Copies of this chain bind each other. A is one copy, B any other.
Amino acid sequence: MRVLAFLDGTLADPDQAHIRVDDLGLLRGDGIFETVLVTNGVPRELGPHLDRLARSAAMLDLPAPDREAWERTVQLVIDNWPRGEEMALKLVYTRGIEGHPAATPTSFALGMEIDDKIKAARRDGVAVVTLDRGFDADLAQRAPWLLLGAKSLSYAVNMAALREAARRGASDVIFTTPDGTVLEGPTSNVVVARGRTLYTPPPSLGILPGTTQGDVFRAAERAGWDTEVTTLKVDELGTGDALMLASSVRKLTRVHTLDGERLPDSTKVHAELAEIYESQYE
CA distance A162 to B158 in the complex (A): 23
A20→B14 contact, CB < 8 A: yes
Given A19-B17, A110-B22, A156-B29, the answer on whether A178 and B4 have CB atoms closer than 8 Å is no
Q: With a CB–CB cut-off of 8 A, which chain B residues contact A249?
A: none
Q: Which of B31, B131, B136, B147 contacts A157 (CB 8 A)?
A: B147
Interface status of A184 (Cβ within 8 A of chain B): no
CA distance A153 to B164 in the complex (A): 19
Given A146-B133, A146-B160, the answer on whether A26 and B23 have CB atoms closer than 8 Å is yes
Q: With a CB–CB cut-off of 8 A, which chain B residues contact A268?
A: none
Identical copies in the complex? 2
A155→B30 contact, CB < 8 A: yes
Q: With a CB–CB cut-off of 8 A, which chain B residues contact A143?
A: 131-134
A171 to chain B, nearest CB (A): 15
What is the 8 Å Cβ interface bit string for chain A, positions 249-268, against chain B (1 contact, 0 not)?
A: 00000000000000000000
With most chain B CB atoms within 10 A of its CB, the pick from A33, A59, A178 is A178
Question: Which A135-187 residues have C-beta < 8 A from chain B?
Answer: 135-136, 139, 142-147, 150, 152-161, 163-164, 178
A154→B29 contact, CB < 8 A: yes
A26→B156 contact, CB < 8 A: no
Which single residue of chain B is at the shortest CB-CB distance from A95? Answer: B159
Q: With a CB–CB cut-off of 8 A, which chain B residues contact A61?
A: 160, 163
Q: With a CB–CB cut-off of 8 A, which chain B residues contact A133?
A: 143, 146
Q: Which of B14, B131, B142, B157 contacts A132 (CB 8 A)?
A: B142
What is the 8 Å Cβ interface bit string for chain A, positions 38-73, against chain B (1 contact, 0 not)?
A: 000000000000000000000111000000000000
Q: With a CB–CB cut-off of 8 A, which chain B residues contact A59?
A: 160
Q: With a CB–CB cut-off of 8 A, which chain B residues contact A218?
A: none
B146→A27 contact, CB < 8 A: no
A58 to chain B, nearest CB (A): 12
CA distance A178 to B134 in the complex (A): 11
A156→B156 contact, CB < 8 A: no
Closest A-B pairs by Cβ, 8 of them: A29-B29, A154-B154, A154-B156, A19-B19, A29-B154, A152-B156, A145-B164, A28-B155
Excluding A30-B159, A60-B156, 8 further A-B contacts by CB distance (< 8 Å) are A14-B20, A17-B20, A27-B33, A27-B90, A29-B155, A30-B156, A134-B143, A145-B163
